[in-house]
Amino acid sequence: MQYVSYVAVMQYDSYVAVMLYDSYVAVMQYDSYATIMQKDVKAKTNHITSSQLVVNNFLPGKRGFGTAGWTVQAKIEVYFWLGLNKQRKDFLTGLPSGYEENKAVQGQGLQSFPPISLTYIKKQLFQLRVHMYQARSLCAADSSGLSDPFARVFFSTQSQCTEVLQETLCPTWDQLLVFDNIELYGEAQELRDDPPIVVIEIYDQDTVGKAEYIGRTFAKPIVKMAEEEYCPPRFPPQLEYYQIYRGNSTAGDLLAAFELLQIPPSGKHNLPPIDGPTDSERGPILPVPKGIRPVLSKYRIEILFWGLRDLKRVNLAQVDRPRVDIECAGKGVQSAVIQNYKKNPNFSTLVKYFEVDLPENELLHPPLNIRVVDCRAFGRYTLVGSHAVGSLRKFIYRPPENKVQNWVNAAKLMHEYQALANGGPLFHPAGDINVNMETEVPVKKMETVVKLEANEDEKSKKKKKKKGEEIEEEEPDESMLDWWSKYFASIETLMEVCTDLQDLKIDDSPMKGTKQSKSKDKAKAQEKEKKKKQLEMVEKKEKVKIDELQVYDKELETEFGNFEDWLHTFNLYRGKIGDDDDSCTDEERIVGRFKGSICVYKVPLPEDIAREAGYEPTFGMFQGIPNNDLVNVLVRVYVVRATELHPADINGKADPYIVIKLGKTEIRDKENYISKQLNPVFGKSFDIEVTFPMESMLTVSIYDWDLVGTDDLIGETKLDLENRYYSKHRATCGIAQQYSLHGYNMWRDPVKPTQLLTKLCKENKMDGPHFGPGGRVKVANRVFTGPTEIEDENGVKKETDEHLSLIVLHHWEEVPRVGCRLVPEHVETRPLLNPEKPGIEQGRIEMFVDMFPKDMPAPGAPIDISPRKPKKYELRVIVWNTDEVILEDDDYFTGEKSSDIFVRGWLKGQQEDKQDTDVHYHSLTGEGNFNWRFIFPFDYLMAEEKIVISKKESMFSWDETEYKIPARLTLQVWDADHFSADDFLGAIELDLNRFTRGAKTAKLCTIEMATDESAFPTVSIFKQKRVKGWWPFVARNENDEMELTGKVEAELHLLTAEEAEKSPAGLARNEPEPLEKPNRPDTSFIWFMNPLKSIRYFIWHNYRWLILKILAIVLLLLLLGLFLYSMPGYLVKKILGA
């Protein structure tokens, strides 16, 4: 056998050899180009690299784009070798052995190197058996949303095709393809260890034109040599799933098995036998042998036909009489025809079933196909859409015996634990379960006590107090609390939980042993200690007992399994997948939704199920499902706020407002848009009366208001209210944490806890509830205990069973067989998406929905969640004195240090309204006296602890923008200069909600009051109202370290706007309530305003003793001069006797 060879010699002493062998071409060579697809062999010897590759050829140029270019036009097996020129003698080491080299003679005694061709002497004969069982979740290649798939298998120089199956995405071929007399070259052991690859391509058969490419996959067969026995564990091969790829995306899965059998010299009769065709209708097609095909068992598949939703037109015609066809493994069932889809899209017959043979191995279960057709006149029907359920695993019925046994075991363990805790054994069999919620109740026989520590809030709080933690819980003034109090308390709890989780993650991280890492760890440990101290200080503040609600940072569907506990939603698809890199998304192909469910179980039905009380054979496994008649519902939508909205305006902000769509109702709250906010607080509720199931898809959108032009959609979220309404989790109205008759936490559900508990027991055919003395209630074999008193608005306590019922509802998931989590009172966080920007979150919205059937008691008024209006306050700050202020100036005459001190103050966010005291000139000791009053009016939100500021961003702004800023007072000390800029000396920033209590004297005021606040008691001006003390001024020095630059004595007085109006005060020292002028020392003056005073101070104050001495000496000299001057005359007079 001759092979073409080609040799190319490269520069730099490198050498490349390329040999083409064992090739076949389906089209002409010049009409295709080669692309390397798969490597077969790699061998490396002393820096020599060789590769045997399979090269698939595709159409060149424009014809190679799209699905037409994805199909293989030819296949070539190529051997490459790359190495140094001096090592070229080893270039054939990577080829299969068993060949002879044919070299051309170039001269006398010289032969060419490398050889021009190779002749293989050793060859092996094989038979390939391809067991094509089925494929699932194939791409739709026809406009109907289905395909007519068949498979083409390539191996060596042969190819074969399976039969074509019509209109399915999950074909079951059940076909054996046999490739005979395949010649493979090389040693037998090499072929066994590394067999050639089998290429499988899936196509869609079209009546006109060429078959359309769907996808491709690769597989390696299991090799059996002639001397090996055909026996387990390797043979017969097991069916495996192979991923099918279409370009860069997946296109389904193939379930198949591949075996490569060596044909012995004696012939094919020694190979494992092949059974002939078993189905006369399929003709000569060979089925998959019994040893390879799955072991089948009889299963029953029950289908719950609930209804169809949002069906789109088919060929411009509306769908009027739809029907659902279910098919699995060649068997199926049809639903009843909906006679008028517009009036009632639900089915009249709910449950149907069919029996089918399915594999024992759940992983090999065939897909279940759902097809929706529109029944039209004259017996015609048109495909509306289809859905393929790839895995039936989650729909298989599991007997509940294990769950019951697990609960009994847990009860026994808890029973033993309680016995040990009480100091001795309790000789009571495990029967009823007593869940103790509050007080100790005598335990009767046949009852097991289970204490739930997580729910004993009061006990845990008492334990904390015993340990010495300074946690004081106030009884709140309910008149001051509202829904937002619950909301913010819940947010604070959520943040604490997240912080604890982060600390746990940091603690669990591995630590390295290097010196650098140890120093870093020490620094981190110190930072942690500081943070813990700060947290402890925050916890030490007075805590208010406020009932909370559950705040979910995700969609409610994510928390409760999409509310598909018994009713599932299957999207229906139509149309083929786009050829432009699969640009046509699944969302664009959705043409409707089928609501129903599936239950798969072995037959016969377990006897214990049929014996249950109230078992209805017509509903099969779907016992206790509600009626699917039309229901009138009041839907109440609460929109709390939106966060992190995507900017929609040029200024990087947005003007958001809410749009609610439900059925034919659309509410546009355009008048109440919020100007220039990316985190708007809406606090809105909307009531809509709808009819299920026609109006069940709620859309909440956020639009951006524009003065000119159309408003832009920022994002939207969609909620399927029907699944929530019918879910066993009871998502109609969240269950509150406590039952109250009045106040901010008043029970808002028209159904009381006792009525709800009775209804649940009745619907689930359970015994109970039975209320007994001592705060006990029994449901099934569970006994719960709790409080039995409730207080009305007048403070009168009454006996009630509502608290007991609410405790049972909170632990409903612990009830065996029928228990599940009930939706609590909550706020859910949903992502906002824009259809024009798929997959990109445009923000998040916090909301919750209540639903009330119209045939039930009418609900009360909606909860008031309107945003809190900020309250007007006035903060009066009196700066009395300063001390130890650093001295910055040098005296021109004497060089003495001094400062011209003044104090500046403002509230954060109001820097333009800052206020200054007058100047205390020429302070030599850092002491300053002011008696100066600042007045800061502001609007404050008590719940959020934020100051609210509304102002226009610019003179061209249409509306004012609202800002929420922490309430912080800033005081600064400056050194006044006349001809240059004032010098900043230091500052102190006080958080008005929690700041360090001022020192009583200047000596007790230290820098730690500003740098280590956790070590000092804190105070809130909103609770204390009036605070006076000394606080330090601090600033960073040249080494970037904090240093003390002064101290200030100040008094803070907080008044409401009404109180400030009743008792007004003047700015600075003005009336009303004027302040006295400070008694400043004589050294405090302005030198150029009073030069005589300046001269007196500079000369007399500093040189008075020197001046006095000079004056004394001058006087003495004058006296001496006068004496000497008058002495001669006096002596003459004496002598003359004059």
For the segment 587-613, the average pLDDT, to the nearest whole number, is: 82
pLDDT at 606: 66
pLDDT at 908: 92
pLDDT at 787: 83
Tens-place pLDDT, residues 274-287: 877 767 677 788 99
Contact 769, 778 (CB under 8 A): yes
* pLDDT band per the 50, 70, 90 thresholds, residue 912: confident
Kindly state which CATH superfamily the domain 871-1062 is placed in. Answer: C2 domain (2.60.40.150)
Q: Is the pLDDT of residue 1066 over 80?
A: yes
* pLDDT band per the 50, 70, 90 thresholds, residue 775: confident
* pLDDT band per the 50, 70, 90 thresholds, residue 529: low
- The residue that leads in pLDDT, 12 or 1048, is 1048
Contacts of 4 by beta carbon, 8 Å cutoff, 6+ apart? 19, 20, 21, 117
For the segment 850-874, the average pLDDT, to the nearest whole number, is: 92
- The residue that leads in pLDDT, 453 or 669, is 669
- The residue that leads in pLDDT, 103 or 563, is 563
- The residue that leads in pLDDT, 277 or 996, is 996
Contact 633, 851 (CB under 8 A): yes
Tens-place pLDDT, residues 316-348: 899 999 999 999 988 899 999 999 999 999 999
* pLDDT band per the 50, 70, 90 thresholds, residue 643: very high
* pLDDT band per the 50, 70, 90 thresholds, residue 1032: very high
Q: Is the pLDDT of residue 448 over 60?
A: no
pLDDT at 560: 94
For the segment 1070-1086, the average pLDDT, to the nearest whole number, is: 79
- The residue that leads in pLDDT, 1062 or 923, is 1062
Tens-place pLDDT, residues 802-813: 999 999 999 999
pLDDT at 615: 64
For the segment 33-48, the average pLDDT, to the nearest whole number, is: 39
Q: Is the pLDDT of residue 354 over 60?
A: yes
* pLDDT band per the 50, 70, 90 thresholds, residue 917: very high
Cα separation, 836 vs 825, whole angstroms:
34
Q: Is the pLDDT of residue 60 over 50?
A: yes
pLDDT at 788: 80
* pLDDT band per the 50, 70, 90 thresholds, residue 105: low
**843, HSE (Cβ side, Cα atoms, 13 Å):** 27
pLDDT at 582: 47
Mean of the per-residue pLDDT values of the chain: 81
* pLDDT band per the 50, 70, 90 thresholds, residue 799: confident
pLDDT at 880: 95
Contact 248, 199 (CB under 8 A): no
Pick the CATH number of 299-389 from 2.40.10.170, 1.20.1250.20, 2.60.40.150, 3.40.50.150: 2.60.40.150
The least confident of 82-96, 776-790, 860-874, 1032-1046 is: 82-96
For the segment 33-38, the average pLDDT, to the nearest whole number, is: 37
Question: Which of 884, 911, 910 lies closest to 899 in space, CA to CA?
Answer: 884
Number of continuous H segments (helices) and E segments (strands) in the chain? 16, 58
Q: What percent of the chain stands above pLDDT 70?
A: 77
The least confident of 200-214, 300-314, 670-684, 717-731 is: 200-214
- The residue that leads in pLDDT, 253 or 1099, is 253
- The residue that leads in pLDDT, 890 or 1117, is 1117
For the segment 178-192, the average pLDDT, to the nearest whole number, is: 87
pLDDT at 15: 40
- The residue that leads in pLDDT, 111 or 723, is 723
* pLDDT band per the 50, 70, 90 thresholds, residue 733: very high
Hey, what are 383's tokens? 């495909």
SS3 category, 228: coil
For the segment 93-106, the average pLDDT, to the nearest whole number, is: 78
* pLDDT band per the 50, 70, 90 thresholds, residue 20: very low
The least confident of 205-214, 313-322, 880-889, 913-922 is: 205-214
For the segment 585-596, the average pLDDT, to the nearest whole number, is: 88
Contact 428, 448 (CB under 8 A): yes
Angle CA 759–763–767, to nearest 5: 80
Contacts of 635 by beta carbon, 8 Å cutoff, 6+ apart? 662, 687, 688, 689, 690, 698, 721, 849, 850, 851
Tens-place pLDDT, residues 626-640: 999 999 999 999 999
Cα separation, 121 vs 99, whole angstroms:
6
Cα separation, 79 vs 540, whole angstroms:
78
pLDDT at 59: 65
Tens-place pLDDT, residues 192-249: 888 999 999 999 998 888 888 899 999 999 999 988 888 888 899 999 999 999 877 8
pLDDT at 280: 66
Strand order across the beta sheet in which 782-785 lies? 447-451, 432-436, 782-785, 776-779, 770-772
The least confident of 467-476, 711-720, 1050-1059 is: 467-476
The least confident of 5-9, 89-93, 984-988 is: 5-9
- The residue that leads in pLDDT, 276 or 288, is 288
pLDDT at 527: 57
* pLDDT band per the 50, 70, 90 thresholds, residue 584: low
What is the 3-class SS of 276-324, one letter each residue? CCCCHHHCCCCCCCCCCCCCEEEEEEEEEEEEEECCCCECCECCCCEEE
* pLDDT band per the 50, 70, 90 thresholds, residue 118: confident
Fold of the 125-274 domain: Immunoglobulin-like (2.60.40)
Q: What percent of the chain stands above pLDDT 90?
A: 44
SS3 category, 713: strand
pLDDT at 772: 86
pLDDT at 616: 72
How far the first Cα of the chain sits from its last, in Å, is: 171
Residue bearing tokens 């819980």: 473
